[in-house]
Amino acid sequence: MWFKRPLFLAGAVLFPLLIGATAPRYVDQLRTFTISLSQPFLELQNHFSAFLDRQIQFLAEWPKLRMENEALRAELQRMKTELEASREIKRQVSRLEALLHLKGKISDRSVAARVIGRDPSHWSRFIVINKGSRDGVRKNTVLVHPDGLVGKVVAAGRHSARAILLPDAESRASAMNQRTRDVGLIQGMGSSRLKMTYLDRFSDVQVDDLIISSGLGGIYPKGIPIGTVETVVSEKNHLGLYALVKPFVTFSRLEEVLCVSSQTGG
Amino acid sequence: MRLFSNRRLIFVLLGLLWMELSLLPLFAVGRVQPDFFLIFLAFYAFRVSWKRIVTLSFFVGLLRDLVTNSFFGLETASCVGGAILLRFLALEFDREKRSVQLVSLFAFSWVTLLLFVLFSFLVGERYLFEEGIFVNMFLTVIYTSGFGWLLFPLLEKWLKPALQMRQYELF
């Protein structure tokens, strides 16, 4: 029996080699068959392996990606800021062009000013502009906007001035219905609407009529648009009418104004 | 066939096959790769059954022959040759000692790879003349032994119910 084991071992070693040497064609077929059997698993393994490779690569690149991401975020933020700044400049140019156009239409001496401050109070409507007496802006200098009348200066410093807006309750301006030529007084109500009072009870004021400055009173130039009539109401004493006027100017968004000085002799 | 006294062993073998086919490049350092089958065979000889290690090596070698592209029979012959040494080591030394297991894995891997090169030289596949083949083999053996050091405790943990009782020949 002692020889059985070495023979068995020699057979185990040599038999596959003999097959490999004598029947390579069958070996190839056998291998092809084995591969075809294991192909689905190999594909699955391949996917898994590729997945792991990607994850490892991702992990290896993680610090670099993070830095790159931060740099790109910073760059994006800078670009956004620049884009916003250029948009702002575009809007500003558009507004200034409108002001320039308005300036061309107004024969009086005028100077453009930027709104640099607003009244924080809930009840009054004042603004501060960046032009003062050095630029010819004085008390009662009229402020206009491409959309319409804004208000007037109530106090002027050397480099800035404080102006009252039409919606302020203390504001008064002589106005006229462009269609009927009825004259009245525009006064602020502290809200977004203006009140045109002292209208004749027989006047033909209608909704959507255009209200302009009348030029009476010696402060506001004649013909500057103020707004359109929204409502016509009879006074309580029935002696006259008043109209609620929707101003053309959006006072809360004023950024630039034109200061017109002829009426003040500035 | 009582090669696999526990189903977990089959799963481990399949897992190793899967690792060998798919995950091996992930563990490769240059051209040096660990040999998971050799680790499994050494573990089997020391912790499962030294008696059946030659038979198991024969089938593992055959399996490798079927999935590789080298001369058919080389893997089987080298595995069986190495398994004879492994069987001897497992029989003669304390199989519980981790140091004995790892030294045996080292020797088994070394002999198996040497036999592979030798047989391939005999059948005409002249790996012997490949540049740096012995350095590569040595590094592979070292790497495989290193992996064995990591995998043996894990395999023991997973296969605890499948393992036989303490070695009785030495007592």
**Chain segment B13-62, per-residue pLDDT in tens:** 778 777 776 667 677 787 788 888 899 899 888 888 888 888 889 988 88
Give the gyration radius of chain B's Cα atoms. 15
Question: What's the pLDDT at B4?
Answer: 63
Q: Using H for helix, E for strand and C for coil, what is the string for A1-26?
A: CCCHHHHHHHHHHHHHHHHHHHCHHH
Q: What is the pLDDT of residues B97-121, one digit of tens each?
A: 888 889 999 999 999 999 888 888 8
Question: What's the pLDDT at A227?
Answer: 94
| B80, part of any domain | yes
Q: In whole angstroms, give the CA distance from residue B134 to residue B148.
A: 21
| B167, part of any domain | no
Question: What's the pLDDT at A232?
Answer: 92
Tell me how far CA of residue B6 lies from CA of A95, A161, B15, B62, in angstroms.
87, 97, 15, 21
In this prediction the pTM is 0.49
Cβ contact B72–A19 (<8 Å) = yes
| B47, part of any domain | yes
Banded model confidence at residue B3, pLDDT cuts 50, 70, 90: low
Q: In whole angstroms, give the CA distance from residue B171 to residue B160.
A: 22
User: pLDDT at residue A51 above 80?
Assistant: yes
| B135, part of any domain | yes
Tell me how far CA of residue B150 lies from CA of B39, B42, B153, B154, in angstroms.
10, 13, 7, 7
Question: What's the pLDDT at A248?
Answer: 92
Question: What's the pLDDT at B5?
Answer: 64
Partners of residue B72 in chain A, C-beta under 8 Å = 16-17, 19-20, 24, 27, 31
User: pLDDT at residue A118 above 60?
Assistant: yes
Banded model confidence at residue B8, pLDDT cuts 50, 70, 90: confident
First to last CA, chain A: 134
Query: What's the whole-number mean pLDDT along residues A154-166?
Result: 88
Q: Is A108 helix (H, G, I), strand (E, B) or coil?
A: coil
Which of A141, A184, A182, A185 lies closest to A160, judged by CA?
A141
Q: Does A59 touch chain B (CB under 8 A)?
A: no
Write the residue in A13, A35, A49 that is nearest to B80 by C-beta.
A13
**Percent with pLDDT over 70 in chain B:** 83
The answer to whether B62 and B84 have CB atoms below 8 angstroms apart is no
Write the residue in A19, A31, A49 that is nearest to B22 by C-beta.
A49
Higher pLDDT, B1 or A20: A20
Cβ contact A31–B66 (<8 Å) = yes
Query: What's the whole-number mean pLDDT along residues A78-94?
Result: 87
Highest mean pLDDT among A37-46, A51-60, B21-30: A51-60
Question: What's the pLDDT at B118?
Answer: 86
Question: What's the pLDDT at B21?
Answer: 67
Sketch the domain layout of chain A as residue ranges.
Answer: 1-76, 110-264
Question: What's the pLDDT at B94?
Answer: 81
Cβ contact A27–B72 (<8 Å) = yes
Structural domain boundaries, residue B91: 30-159
Look up residue B42 and give its two tokens.
């050494």
Mean pLDDT lowest among A16-30, A83-97, A251-265, B48-62: A251-265
First to last CA, chain B: 29
Q: What is the CATH number of domain A110-264?
A: 2.40.10.340
| B101, part of any domain | yes
The number of folded domains in chain B is 1
Q: In whole angstroms, give the CA distance from residue B163 to residue A170.
A: 101
Q: In whole angstroms, give the CA distance from residue B79 to residue A7.
A: 17
Contacts of B62 (CB under 8 A, 6+ apart): A16, B75, B76
Question: What's the pLDDT at A1?
Answer: 41
